[in-house]
Amino acid sequence: MRAVAKLRTGSVNLVKHAAPARVVRAVAMAFLLLADAPAQALNSPPGFEPIESAFIAFMKAHDLPGASLAIASNGRLVWARGYGLSDVELAQPVQPTSIFRVGSISKTITAIAVMKLVEAGKLDLDASAFTLLPDVKPLSGRLGDARISRITVRNLLTHAGGWDASISGEPIVSPLISQIASATGGQFPPAPESIIAWMLDRRLDFDPGTRFAYSNFGFVVLGRIIERVAGRPYDEFVRQEILSPMGIESMRLGRTILALRAAGEVRYYDYPGAPLVNSLMPGVGGQVSEPYSGILPFESIDSAGAWIASSIDLVRIFVMLDGQRLPPVLSPASIQQIVTPAFGALGTSPAGNPASYGLGLGVELTGADAEWWHDGGTWGTQAVAARLRDGWVWSASFNSAPKDTIYTSSGAPNFVATLQSIFTVDALESVSWPDVDLFARYPGMRIPPRPRR
């Protein structure tokens, strides 16, 4: 079961334009760098070379210029490394701390924030979602579907709110998001509240709570609920109440255009041979690479897919959820709710086991030590974070995305499944990992891990 629905519904404003020769040469340099990577990994622990070689081969096979990888075992960070180039034109290598767009892994972060408010007694998972947003009204002044009033916070977290993008379209991606901008005053990118107001005029695709249909829009709504209940901006609440207690300082909401790239953030690249497109972003003229075009404007989708993070920090978050490391941002009871499947089998996990969805996480249906994960991807980026059995956590992020992960229904699941096959528990446990904790080498949590269970 793919934990992330692909955001791309088709190309818009495509203008054929050849890639500059300097970029082609720089991409070639990136793969030469990858070819030399095993020889450079002088400190790789015994037994890790087959895993690393498979990872590098995976990058080459999918034309991925750069990546970061982090692995933890029982609360200790045992591996953190950058591969390839973060900026191919400047020949800048990816660092272990490089920051990437992580796409729908943002939903896991939003789910944690919701549960933080539930723990504080400020929010009820079974409360009517739109009752909590009295200031957001339908554009017409009247709900387009009476069933909207029955949608709960839990429904939003479990993608059971009643919207099915395969039926009614994806409102956070052009062309619909451009229509929303025009209908709500012309501002582009439209504010999340404008998207909600437009959607409140529409009919639902199914009765809330009756089935699963992956909904980016539902998590946009959750961001506004967090703001309303917490009394502060969504990202401020997440950074102060979720990230800072874990020592995570570099995570933030990403921006759409290249000129607003954050310090330490990689540059994103479309698949080889992709055309440049006309920018939808105000103040940006001419053609740009699609990751920076505004077809998916990050300013509109904060809580659904706009966080940027290092693989190390994603591992920190998943290690915390696994109860392997202090400080616990959530109680064990709240974490159990997050990782408890909300449905029966919806498909298969990247490892090939029956899987469902919890609250902001894909979850296997394999018992108490089930694996859980989330992945995210759109133009120019793919990211995965996973908790395996026996205390293993890993995360990998890339600064490009293969064409088939965007344009075909099978591309993204196959991408994640192939990646997962490299980082199996058996493979990781075959490595002679040193008795070190690399978390101490990087800014962030410096509190000792819990004793091994």
Residue found under tokens 């310090």: 263
Rg value, the chain, Cα: 21
**What local confidence, expressed as pLDDT, does residue 43 receive?**
79
**What local confidence, expressed as pLDDT, does residue 327 receive?**
83
**What local confidence, expressed as pLDDT, does residue 2 receive?**
33
**What local confidence, expressed as pLDDT, does residue 408 receive?**
87
**What local confidence, expressed as pLDDT, does residue 447 receive?**
41
Amino acid identity, position 370: A
Sheet containing 100-101: give its strands across.
100-101, 307-309, 252-253
**What local confidence, expressed as pLDDT, does residue 36 receive?**
44
Q: What is the pTM of this model?
A: 0.91
**What local confidence, expressed as pLDDT, does residue 346 receive?**
95
What is the sign, positive or negative, of the torsion defined by CA atoms of 37, 74, 315, 239? negative
Q: In Å, how far are 162, 163, 407 from 167, measured between CA atoms?
A: 11, 8, 17
**What local confidence, expressed as pLDDT, does residue 30 receive?**
52
The end-to-end CA distance of the chain, in Å, is 29
Q: What is the rounded CA–CA span in Å between residue 70 and residue 172?
A: 30
**Using omega within 30 degrees of 0 as the cis cutoff, is the peptide bond preceding 175 cis?**
yes
Q: Block means of pLDDT (10 residues each) for the chain, length 453 residues?
A: 33 29 42 45 84 98 98 97 98 98 98 98 98 97 97 98 97 97 95 98 98 98 98 98 95 98 97 96 95 98 98 97 90 96 93 94 92 96 96 98 90 92 97 94 56 42
1-453 CATH: 3.40.710.10
Q: What is the rounded CA–CA span in Å between residue 443 and residue 244?
A: 11
**What local confidence, expressed as pLDDT, does residue 173 receive?**
96
Please say whether the beta carbons of 321 and 336 come within 8 A.
Answer: no
**What local confidence, expressed as pLDDT, does residue 5 receive?**
35
For the stretch 8-37, what's the b/e string if a residue is b when 16 or more beta carbons lie within 10 angstroms of its beta carbon? bbebbbeeeeebeeeeeebbeebbebbeeb
Helix (H, G, I), strand (E, B) or coil at 105: helix
